[in-house]
Structure 1
Amino acid sequence: MMAPSVAVLDYGSGNLASVSRAVARVGADVTITSDLETAQNADGLVVPGVGAFAACMAGLRAMRGERVIGRRLAGGRPVLGICVGMQIMFERGIEHGVETEGLGEWPGTVERLQATVVPQIGWNTVDPGAGSVLFAGMAPDTRLYFVNSYAARRWELTDTGPFPAPVVTWSEHEGDRFVAAVENGPLSATQFHPEKSGDAGAELLRHWLGTL
């Protein structure tokens, strides 16, 4: 049986090498690429992201990466967003008073965490949504690695029509609740870094590969 092919999208932002190694370690044939045809044709596409929402969106649009993401999702082909690669799936991000348009796959705003210690750096638990595939079998006290100052603090997609409701996983930092992961048909995303989350992160990536 051939290993599934996974493209890690290189648009100038993200822990490309560490993400690539982590996905390869759990059984995928991984390519880091800025070629849109390669990104389109892979079994799975990973959209990483670090830094500012606006900078990530600028880099993505400069290489027309939003087109390949949209085409893949329209065709039911899996995409995994990580950290800011998750945040840009929302309608907008607000940083330092500047609003930037996101990809709009989900309604809502990415904004600063309401906490005294920001960014959140380190290990934190999550509260998986019912029916989660990514977190299947994980212990309730499983810890995953976060590095974030911003997050979606509300989930605003309430009307999905005839389609199944997304599975939303939550976490908290200093009592401020935020979206930690979403599973929405072919689109999955995590605010934390599975590639830095040890055995738990590897298990989550393995579960994602199982959806390809």
Structure 2
Amino acid sequence: MSGLVIVDYDAGNIGSVANICKKAGGKAEISADPERIAAAGKLILPGVGHFGRAMARLNDSGIRAALDAAKDRGAPILGICLGMQLLLKHSEEGDADGLGWIDAHAKRFDLPAPLKVPHMGWNDVAFTRPDVLTKGLEDEARFYFVHSYVVQAVDESAVLGRTDYGGPFVSVVQKDNVWGFQCHPEKSHKYGLTVIRNFIDKVPSL
């Protein structure tokens, strides 16, 4: 069984991700079934909320093992917001280990006044290299962000985009068949629609 599956692990923004997939011309199934997730042709791992609690749900539900199986057989996987941070080795939020697919960790923003945490609102993304998901965004890319934790200590080879908020931070990662966007493409109008359409149309399913 193949097709696009949005992983439902009780961590929010599922409906809006499904809606943008539909708007992009794709058909996405929402599933919490580990067997279905493991067999998916491609996957979107969304999420808002607390890293530690999210990882506990993935571990306890069997979804974490299903995600590992899908990743290991080469299924394309897109992590969004919290879903991106779950791709990492560890987060300060809950002092919890993540999926470990990207060699990096998440740390709470430490910013001088008057900058506020969370980083919330529209901001630019500067892509560091060409990629199938960013095709059509070469000249302009603005996305909507809401996050209090930020990716740190990333291997440069996995960095796909950076954003500035009190200094540059890594906002997009990519390694092998895995992508992660710290922003919310589903809330980012034409820019996010381009990313999701590219994931649906230009990235082959298994």
TM-score normalised by length of structure 2: 0.90
- Identify the residue that residue 165 of structure 2 maps to in structure 1: 173
- 8 Å CA contact 2:124, 2:141 repeated in 1: yes
What are the Cα deviations for residues 130-151 of structure 1, in whole angstroms up to 9, with x where unaligned? 1222212214442101000111
What are the Cα deviations for residues 69-115 of structure 1, in whole angstroms up to 9, with x where unaligned? 111111111111110101011110003xx411111112221011122
Secondary structure of the residue aligned to 1:144 is strand
How far did residue 40 of structure 1 move?
2.2
- Identify the residue that residue 132 of structure 1 maps to in structure 2: 131
Equivalent-residue separation in structure 2 for 1:131 and 1:142 (angstroms) = 13
Any unmatched runs of 5+ in structure 2?
Answer: none
The structure whose residues are more often helix, as a share, is 2
- Identify the residue that residue 123 of structure 1 maps to in structure 2: 122
How far did residue 174 of structure 1 move?
2.2
1:182 aligned onto 2:173 = yes
Match of 1:113 among 91, 109, 113: 109
1:64 aligned onto 2:62 = yes
Equivalent-residue separation in structure 1 for 2:159 and 2:109 (angstroms) = 22
Q: Which amino acid aligns with 1:7?
A: V
Equivalent-residue separation in structure 1 for 2:104 and 2:174 (angstroms) = 16
How far did residue 152 of structure 1 move?
0.5
- Identify the residue that residue 194 of structure 1 maps to in structure 2: 185
Q: Which amino acid aligns with 2:104?
A: G
- Identity fraction in percent: 31
1:101 aligned onto 2:92 = no
Any unmatched runs of 5+ in structure 1?
Answer: 159-164
- Identify the residue that residue 161 of structure 1 maps to in structure 2: none
Equivalent-residue separation in structure 2 for 1:91 and 1:167 (angstroms) = 15
Equivalent-residue separation in structure 2 for 1:27 and 1:185 (angstroms) = 25
How far did residue 202 of structure 1 move?
0.4
Tell which deviates more after alignment, 165-174 or 12-21. 165-174
Equivalent-residue separation in structure 1 for 2:118 and 2:188 (angstroms) = 17
Equivalent-residue separation in structure 1 for 2:151 and 2:136 (angstroms) = 25
Q: How many residues align?
A: 199
- Identify the residue that residue 207 of structure 1 maps to in structure 2: 198
Listed as ranges, the matches of 1:72-111 within 5 Å are 72-95=70-93, 98-111=94-107
- 8 Å CA contact 1:5, 1:28 repeated in 2: no
Listed as ranges, the matches of 1:11-22 within 5 Å are 11-22=9-20
Equivalent-residue separation in structure 2 for 1:23 and 1:172 (angstroms) = 28
Equivalent-residue separation in structure 1 for 2:75 and 2:110 (angstroms) = 35
How far did residue 168 of structure 1 move?
2.1
How far did residue 65 of structure 1 move?
1.2
Tell which deviates more after alignment, 30-39 or 82-91. 30-39
